[in-house]
Amino acid sequence: MPVNQNSKNQKKNQLNKLNQAAKYSGLAFEMFFIILAGVFGGIKLDEMLNTSPLFTVLLSLLGVMAGIYMALKDFLKKK
């Protein structure tokens, strides 16, 4: 294999790795903000309705489930 072709393959491989890293770091931020929104919404609802940890727990669990769903949807999406 010529040196020039080998160099192109290495660059393509590095670019592919960077694309995967960007995809998964974006996925982590997406999960984080979904869970954060659930926790924040639960805290605000608990403050408004005087129900100590009820909505915080429920919405944070719902946020975790939604985050996992979004992650699995991205992982299982066909290329």
pLDDT, residue 40, reads 96
At residue 23, does pLDDT exceed 60?
Answer: yes
Cα 58 versus chain centre, distance: 20
pLDDT tens profile 26-79: 888 999 999 999 999 999 999 999 998 999 999 999 999 999 999 899 888 855
Q: How far apart are CA 73 and CA 79, in angstroms?
A: 12
pLDDT, residue 4, reads 67
Cα 26 versus chain centre, distance: 6
Q: Are 18 and 62 in contact (CB under 8 A)?
A: no
